[in-house]
Structure 1
Amino acid sequence: MKQDSPTPAENRRWLLILAVLVFAEVNSSFEVGMMYGALATLMREFGDPVGVGWLITAFLLVGAVSAGLSSRLGDLYGRRRLLILTLAFALAGSLIGAFATSLPWLIAGRAVQGMSAALLPLTIGLVREHLPKARVPVGIGWVAAMASFTAGAGILLGGWLVDHAGWRWIFWFSVGQTALSILAVATLLPPSVRQAAVGRLDLLGGVLFAPGVALLLWAVTRMKGSGPADPVTLGLIATGLLAIGAWVRHEWRHPQPMIDVRRFAERQIGLAMGLMALFGLGTAQLMLVLLLLAQQPAWTGIGLGLTATLAATIKVPASLAGLFGAPWSGHVAARHGARRAALVGSVVICAGWVGVLLHHDAVWLLVAEAFLITLGGSILYAAIPNLIVEVAPTDRTSEINGMSHVVRTVGTAIGTQLATLLLASSTVSDAARGPGTHPSPAAYALTFAFVIACAGAGVLLAIALPRRSSAGAPLPVPSQVASRSQSTGNY
């Protein structure tokens, strides 16, 4: 039976809900993007590149915990309620950063801001909760599109604020936008469905992996000075892996795990998680690598010597690519299944990074390559939650998308440290031409090769995804089609 077309009032209601969710979710994207735009300035002001790097890492580490814990709590106690609570944490972190008088306090503010990493999985769950089924893939595509666009716009805004008003204003901007988001969600978003929790809440499982990840990150940061064979570094790696193993064992055996790691064994979800991990390790380093490359002095043998604001403009056209790529990904997922979108996105990403490796000596080249990489990244980034929605139970939507966000966040945190380590593997300096030590051309080439390897592995995982229809059901194999045709008389 054909479904009735939605009324204009229903269309307006769905559009309003989607607009509120997008406005709330982009808080996290702005907070990430603006900080990337300010990194070079903060490194000069504090004179501690490793410490300033933790402004990104602390945000991502707390975000990994928040994405897993808050998403599941949202499934249980109402996603709208958790959305408001998460925004309140982001507001508090922005205030801490705005008033910070030292780098440790600034890192603390960024850590509290990291709670906003739960915004994306919560909003994806709310899209599935409030929008008609046929509109969910496109709705997810628009949420992902605006996340990508505002991350790029945040770099530009952060660079402009740093150049013209000072780095504290990136936190004051977040204060204002987060406050408006809380007001919009509280007044315009319908209440969420709440579920009854079965058994005791597994709070331990929601945070147990954080110490293990922190130890691994600490080991990575030590490698530059101590080398990979240092006993302390090796001890940190071993202890971190043991802690993560204990967390996996705890969650696997728990009857109601906070983060259901058993779902990683399901083919489509497991491969989607692998795609998200590779995205975080490699492509998510685009802003870090290209912004440093664009601002590095030309006398070093690589770099364009741009200001922070001009360097940030490289990502502006790329951000517009995200506005096209992610909604297109949603349309493809609705018509042909999310596998096709994931494969296209992965191939485009790989092609873009190969271009960066081969040609990076002009602004227009970096603009074009950033455009291509962001286009592919936005297609893939929207395809992954749609891959999950195709097979996930409705009452676990935010949790499983939260798991994917945990994987991406941890992958990005580790990738940031690895990229920083690779960029520092060989350096150049010349006191007569200016202060500071900069990555050498060989260090950049090594970093590009690492990211290309991650992108190539992503293509292979996308190929391995099961073929599904737009509704999420596996496509029948030819023998099944033939058998069905013979039994029904249809040829």
Structure 2
Amino acid sequence: MAKTVARPGLIIAALASAGISSAFTQTMVTPLVALLPGIFKTTSDNTTWIFTATLLAAAVAVPISGRLGDLFGKRRMILLLALPLALGAIVCAIAPNVQIMILGRALQGLGSGMVPLGIALLRDVVPKERLSSAIATVSATLGAGAAIGLPISAAVIEFSSWRILFWAAAIVSGLIALTIWKIVPAVPAGASGQRFDGVGAAGLALGLVALILGISKGSAWGWSSPLTITMLAAAVVVFGLWGWWELRTTDPLIDLRTTARPRVLLTNIASIFVGFGMYASSLVFPQVLQLSSATGYGLGQSILAAGLWMAPAGLMMLVLSPVGGRMSDKRGPKFTFLLGVVILAAGYGVALLAMSHAWGILLAGLVVNSGVAFAYGAMPAIIMSAVPRSETASANGFNTLMRSLGTTTGSAIVGIVLAQMTIQLGGVAVPSEAGFHTVLTIGAGVAVVAAVIVAFIPALKTEPAPATSARDDAVATTADLEHAASADDAPGGHELVGAGERD
């Protein structure tokens, strides 16, 4: 059993800082989108790989680094992931051409695994009375880091060199790694002694690359093009073979039997819809803010101003995350999750009514991100209450992957809608007001679907592990966790707050 640490507040702050740094990395290049072809003297098609490379690297790294964290220690893996995060920033800062820039962004994408690892580590090092709030706070950094990153990046690009962004990111990554090394204690690996599933990791990586390329590049390649169809078909085949392997190997990368438990399965499915719902608004609001007022519905804001209008919504996630944690303690994380997706749907309703004013978008963003704060904080709590302690990090990594698939799918669908519903402005096609309204309506509908799924998540109950389970750990039910907390028989033996749900 892990000893109760004396500085839980500092530990939470250190892991939250890692989450903010990782999320900032994802959005820091957004203000550069229009400038990159000129910077590297190449086509816009080539520069889109700067974003795609980060997405692909993150999708592959998150579930694999989660399993490695279970095997070799979560703190150790967080520190290792800080290396490509910092190195990638340095590579981008000195990049002479688009190819080197793509390489640097791919390295930065590998650092995305820090967030689910940090959330899983909380179970081992934070006292049970602070666990739910800690989980919610670190989860909220995904939104807060993105919101903070946009105006900071826009300001740096407007008043200085864009390369300074990456030098700063490298320095911050190094400082955060040093902070975690000094403050966060090392705890025994939950799955120590098990082997790493290299075949499963390779299969998952190939399947994810094919799927994400097919979805993210479908619009550019053409949805009926042979390349898009080949990618999507390959993903289906590879995932089928991967699932067959995972069910038969002794120590799978992801235990599909655990993942198939209704409590875990429904949470992961709902996570896809929540990821979609969160990302759709982040694609619509900045565009409406920046579109010329000559359209009749655009607000004519600069990139910097648009980022400042959006920033409070991201910060709202940090403000409300502890509230969501306390709510999970009292009512259970399922209640918090359900409330979050209902608020998310309401936020889209606000946007549909008030999008004609900057303050309306600000208000809608605050409501949307309030819902996301509750939902994102509750998802890991539900997952960790229903999986073996030896799978905490890999299960959180898989849940994070589901959210990412939701955002990728959301981006593709929003792109299709806005590309089809346009008006001409100065000879250039721009998204129409009806197109934005359609996307917001879809976002509201997706949030409602998520609410229905969450409503069917079963309450936690004592459930014996299947005899054919590939893991030798029993599922961490309420009784198991209480026993671990009192018997000193498991690493990090803190009972998960909110595990005994009242739902």
Normalised by the shorter chain, which TM-score bucket? 0.7 to 0.9
The one-letter code sitting in structure 2 at the alignment partner of 1:188 is I
Q: Aligned with 2:423: secondary structure?
A: strand
Q: CA deviation at 1:34?
A: 2.0
Equivalent in 140, 162, 168 of residue 167 of structure 1: 162
**Residue identity matched to 1:473:** G
Q: Is the 8 A contact 2:60 2:208 kept in 1?
A: no
Question: Does residue 473 of structure 1 match 2:485?
Answer: no
Measure how far apart 1:442 and its partner are.
3.3
Query: For the Cα contact (< 8 Å) 2:191–2:390, is it kept in 1?
Result: no
Unaligned segments of structure 2, at least 5 residues:
461-477, 479-496
Q: Shift of residue 376 of structure 1? A: 0.5
Gaps of 5+ in 1: 1-9, 477-491
1:451 aligns with 2:451: no
CA separation of 1:59 and 1:227: change in aligned 2, threshold 3 A = closer
Whether 1:102 aligns to 2:97 is yes
- Kindly tell me: are residues 110 and 437 of structure 1, through their superposed partners in 2, closer, same or farther at Cα, counting changes over 3 Å? farther
Instruction: Tell me the CA shift for residue 52 of structure 1.
Output: 4.1
**Residue of structure 2 equivalent to 1:3:** none
Report the equivalent of 2:16: 22
Equivalence map 1:311-326=2 (5 Å): 311-326=306-321
Go from structure 1 to structure 2 and tell me whether the alpha carbon gap of 1:30 and 1:230 turns closer, same or farther (over 3 Å shift): closer
Q: Shift of the alpha carbon at 1:238?
A: 1.6
Question: For the Cα contact (< 8 Å) 2:417–2:435, is it kept in 1?
Answer: yes
Alpha-carbon shift at residue 252 of structure 1 (Å):
2.4
Indicate the larger mover: 458-467 or 307-316.
458-467
Partners of 1:375 and 1:322 lie apart in 2 by: 6
Structure 2 counterpart of 1:359, from 347, 354, 360: 354
Note if contact 1:91-1:174 (Cα within 8 Å) is conserved in structure 2: yes
* From 216, 228, 235, the counterpart of 2:211: 216
Superposed CA offset, 1:12-48 (max 9, x none): 5112222222222221111123233443444675675
| Structure 2 counterpart of 1:375, from 364, 370, 375 | 370
Specify the SS of the correspondent of 2:458. coil
Shift of 1:263: 2.2
Q: Distance in 2 between matches of 1:196 and 1:404?
A: 19
Which one-letter code corresponds to 1:373 in the other structure? Answer: V
Q: Closer, same or farther in 2 for the Cα pair 1:401/1:445, shift >3 Å?
A: same
1:177/1:260 Cα in 2 relative to 1: closer, same or farther (>3 Å)? Answer: same
Matches within 5 A, 1:416-431: 416-431=411-426
> Which whole-Å CA distance do the structure 1 matches of 2:225 and 2:106 have between them?
29
Worse-matched range after superposition: 186-195 or 324-333: 186-195
Counterpart amino acid of residue 152 in structure 2: L
Where do residues 37-436 of structure 1 align in structure 2 (5 Å cutoff)?
37-42=31-36, 48-195=43-190, 197-198=192-193, 200-221=195-216, 223-224=218-219, 227-431=222-426
One-letter amino acid of the structure 1 residue matched with residue 11 of structure 2: I
Task: State the TM-score, normalized to the length of structure 2.
Answer: 0.85
Deviation at 1:198, TM superposition (A): 4.6
Residue of structure 2 equivalent to 1:486: none
Could you say if the C-alpha distance between residues 348 and 105 of structure 1 is closer, same or farther in structure 2, counting changes exceeding 3 Å? same
Equivalent-residue separation in structure 2 for 1:169 and 1:428 (angstroms):
37
Helix, strand or coil: the match of 2:243?
helix
Structure 1: distance between partners of 2:243 and 2:162: 40
For 2:468, the equivalent position in structure 1 comes to none
Instruction: Tell me which residue corresponds to 2:7.
Output: 13
Query: Equivalents in 1 of 2:275, 2:303: separation in Å?
Result: 24
Q: What's the offset of the Cα at 1:471?
A: 4.4
SS of the residue 2:223 aligns to: coil
Cα distance in 1, alignment partners of residues 447 and 389 from structure 2 = 31
Contact 2:333 2:498 in 1 (8 A): no
- Aligned letter for 2:276? L
Conserved in 2, the CA contact under 8 Å of 1:27 and 1:116? no
Q: Could you tell me how far 1:249 is from its partner in structure 2?
A: 2.1
SS at match of 1:135: helix
8 Å contact from structure 1 (residues 280, 409) kept in 2: yes
- Taking structure 1 as reference, are residues 463 and 293 closer, same or farther at Cα in structure 2, changes over 3 Å only? same
CA shift for structure 1 position 400: 0.7
Q: Which moved more, 1:47-56 or 1:362-371?
A: 47-56
For residues 368-388 of structure 1, the C-alpha deviation after alignment (integer angstroms, 9 at most, x for no partner) is 001100111011000101111
Give yes or no for contact 1:69–1:207 (8 Å, CA) kept in 2: no
Q: Which one-letter code corresponds to 1:178 in the other structure?
A: S
**1:283-333 Cα deviation digits (max 9, x unpaired):** 123323221221122223432121110000122221232122211111111
| d(CA) in 1 for partners of 2:353, 2:279 | 20
Q: Distance in 1 between matches of 2:310 and 2:250?
A: 45
Q: For residues 407 and 49 of structure 1, what CA distance do their matches in structure 2 show?
A: 29
Give the aligned residue type for 1:154: G
Residue 25 of structure 2 is aligned with which of 31, 55, 61? 31
C-alpha separation between the residues in 2 aligned to 1:225 and 1:62?
20
1:347: how far off?
0.3
Of residues 465-474 and 142-151 in structure 1, the stretch that sits farther from structure 2 once superposed is 465-474
| Distance of 2:93 and 2:271 partners within structure 1 | 32
Matched, 1:462 2:489: no
Distance 1:199 1:367, change over 3 A: closer
How much has 1:415 moved relative to structure 2? 2.5
AA partner of residue 341 (structure 1): T
